[in-house]
Amino acid sequence: MLSRKGLVPDDYLLTRLAEDVQQPKFKGKARKARFVAKNGTCNVAHTNIREQGRFLLDVFTTLVDLKWLHTLIIFTMSFLCSWLLFAMVWWLIAFAHGDLDQKGDDFVPCVTDIHSFSSAFLFSIEVQVTIGFGGRMVTEECLSAIVVLIIQNIVGLLINAIMLGCIFMKTAQANRRAETLIFSKHAVISIRNNRLCFMIRLGDLRKSMIISATVRMQVVRRSTTPEGEVVPLDQIDIHMDNPVGTNGIFLVAPLIICHIINKDSPLYELSPADLQKNDIEVIVVLEGVVETTGITTQARTSYLSDEILWGQRFVPTITEEEGTYAVDYSKFGNAIRVPTPSCSAKKLDEDGGIARFKLHEHSTPRPSVRRRQLSLRIKRQSTISPLA
């Protein structure tokens, strides 16, 4: 497992290991509650569930979802209770047949060498875990003993199948693979291919691939319908720019996932100022099949308004070195400032689009250029002779 200090830089987050990410504290205005945390956990508390018995209808899933401590306690108690239960049955059979009393050599007991409850308990363990020490065994004297032997074997197999399957599923859960799927800590908005785009970066630290990986994005915000109904968590899908035409990606190296802010985008009318005023949350979901195990995994993260950087883009992380593509994860979340319109995409389209913005940018010198021109003008004026 990667260390958070050293191997894991601070400019990106592990989807599962970052459970103790310290959230910045704001004075005055309270911070908006997240629908999905940065580590992928859903910030939803289920309360007032009256029909608790529904969880017992799916016992296996309930056991897998429990904490490890509770699972181990149930695992231990299931075997102990079954051993004690059948030990009581074996003791009752021996007591009813008279095996506990001292008899002659011609007496044939139902189970040999059972003289107390302790010996019955040991015999119960030997039967259920299919081990035998050679001292205790069932004879042909009692039909009930043969029936109980068959029942205990079947019950023991069922307990083994359920509990061992539960332990296996907990150790092989797909969210463990998601610990090495990483997202950039911040999202950016800038010009890409002559369009205003919302972008994030994701990557995979393992060499084993995620097969059929797909990425989905949603905007979660508070909205009001024309009828006046208030929807506190309105989930709106946003589409991503993919030349293949689908959301499928080939996640071998870190990729920049891009969403074009057009008329169909929920971010179309948001300017940098509106983005900070509105409480919106962009949820990113990565799904795929683990190549080594064939189990479907999912990694999630989210970006609040203050985690979306306007006018910046990610720096390249891939370089070619001696015929091999090298990925520098220290630059995974680094972004640089680039010229970007400080208005919404809707306002930009109304003013003539990106071409008008670039024309205005080239015609208007930058502040540094203007200062340089002014200093040259002052220097020229100072060199002019008074007689001239």
Whether 140 and 242 map to the same domain: the answer is no
What's the rounded Cα separation, in Å, for the pair 332 and 66? 35
Q: Pick the residue with more confidence: 12 or 20?
A: 12
Read off the tokens for 307.
């985690």
Give the pLDDT of residue 356.
64
Give the pLDDT of residue 188.
93
The pLDDT > 90 percentage for the chain reads 16
> Does residue 338 surpass a pLDDT of 70?
yes
Whether 230 and 320 map to the same domain: the answer is yes
What's the rounded Cα separation, in Å, for the pair 174 and 365? 54
Query: pLDDT tens digit string along 363-384?
Result: 555 555 455 655 655 555 555 5
Whether 214 and 279 map to the same domain: the answer is yes
User: What do you get for the CA distance between the two ends of the chain, in Å?
Assistant: 77
Domain boundary among 172, 193, 211: 172
Angle between the N-to-C axes of helices 117-128 and 143-171, in degrees from 0 to 180, rounded to the nearest 10: 60
Q: Range of 344's domain?
A: 177-362
CATH number of the domain that residue 81 is part of: 1.10.287.70
Give the pLDDT of residue 199.
92
Look at residue 296 and tell me if it is in a domain: yes
Look at residue 27 and tell me if it is in a domain: no
Give the pLDDT of residue 229.
80
Give the pLDDT of residue 28.
44
Look at residue 292 and tell me if it is in a domain: yes
> Does residue 11 surpass a pLDDT of 60?
no
Given pLDDT bands bounded at 50, 70 and 90, which one contains residue 150?
very high
Whether 68 and 195 map to the same domain: the answer is no
Whether 113 and 249 map to the same domain: the answer is no
Per-residue DSSP letter, 197: E
Give the pLDDT of residue 357.
63
Look at residue 35 and tell me if it is in a domain: no
Q: Which residues on adjacent β-strands are paired with residue 202?
A: 183, 255
Look at residue 386 and tell me if it is in a domain: no
Give the pLDDT of residue 88.
95
78-82, 128-132, 201-205: the lowest-pLDDT one = 128-132
14-23, 110-119, 201-210, 325-334: the lowest-pLDDT one = 14-23
Whether 217 and 258 map to the same domain: the answer is yes
Give the pLDDT of residue 62.
80
Looking at every residue in the chain, the average pLDDT score rounds to 78
What's the rounded Cα separation, in Å, for the pair 14 and 345? 32
Query: pLDDT tens digit string along 167-196?
Result: 888 877 766 777 788 899 999 999 888 888
Q: Pick the residue with more confidence: 56 or 75?
A: 75
Look at residue 165 and tell me if it is in a domain: yes
Whether 60 and 188 map to the same domain: the answer is no
Residue 110 CB contacts under 8 Å (≥ 6 apart), including other chains: 93, 94, 97, 99, 138, 139, 141, 142, 144, 145
340-343 long-range contacts (CB < 8 A, ≥24 apart) are 340/189, 340/190, 340/191, 340/196, 340/310, 340/311, 340/312, 341/191, 341/196, 342/271, 342/272, 342/310, 342/311, 343/271
Q: Pick the residue with more confidence: 100 or 338?
A: 338
Whether 350 and 219 map to the same domain: the answer is yes
Whether 121 and 91 map to the same domain: the answer is yes
Give the pLDDT of residue 114.
86
> Does residue 163 surpass a pLDDT of 80?
yes
> Does residue 77 surpass a pLDDT of 70?
yes
Look at residue 369 and tell me if it is in a domain: no
> Does residue 53 surpass a pLDDT of 80?
no
What's the rounded Cα separation, in Å, for the pair 261 and 348? 11
Domain boundary among 131, 155, 172: 172
* Number of structural domains found in the chain: 2
Given pLDDT bands bounded at 50, 70 and 90, which one contains residue 1?
very low
Amino acid symbol at 274:
D
Averaged pLDDT for residues 302-331: 88
Whether 296 and 200 map to the same domain: the answer is yes
CATH number of the domain that residue 249 is part of: 2.60.40.1400
Given pLDDT bands bounded at 50, 70 and 90, which one contains residue 2?
very low
Contact 360, 334 (CB under 8 A): no
Query: pLDDT tens digit string along 236-291?
Result: 888 876 544 455 788 888 889 888 888 888 888 888 888 888 888 899 988 888 88
Cβ neighbours, 10 Å, residue 91: 22
Given pLDDT bands bounded at 50, 70 and 90, which one contains residue 310?
very high
Question: Helices in the chain by DSSP H: which ranges?
Answer: 54-57, 59-65, 68-97, 117-128, 143-171, 272-277, 345-350, 353-363, 367-383
Given pLDDT bands bounded at 50, 70 and 90, which one contains residue 345?
confident
Whether 190 and 306 map to the same domain: the answer is yes
Give the pLDDT of residue 337.
92
Averaged pLDDT for residues 62-79: 87
Domain boundary among 110, 144, 172: 172
Look at residue 293 and tell me if it is in a domain: yes
What's the rounded Cα separation, in Å, for the pair 79 and 94? 22
Give the pLDDT of residue 361.
58
Residue 14 CB contacts under 8 Å (≥ 6 apart), including other chains: 2, 4, 8, 39, 179, 180, 182
59-63, 90-94, 257-261: the lowest-pLDDT one = 59-63
Whether 157 and 104 map to the same domain: the answer is yes
Amino acid symbol at 314:
F
- Least Cα distance to 177 among 201, 206, 203 occurs for 206
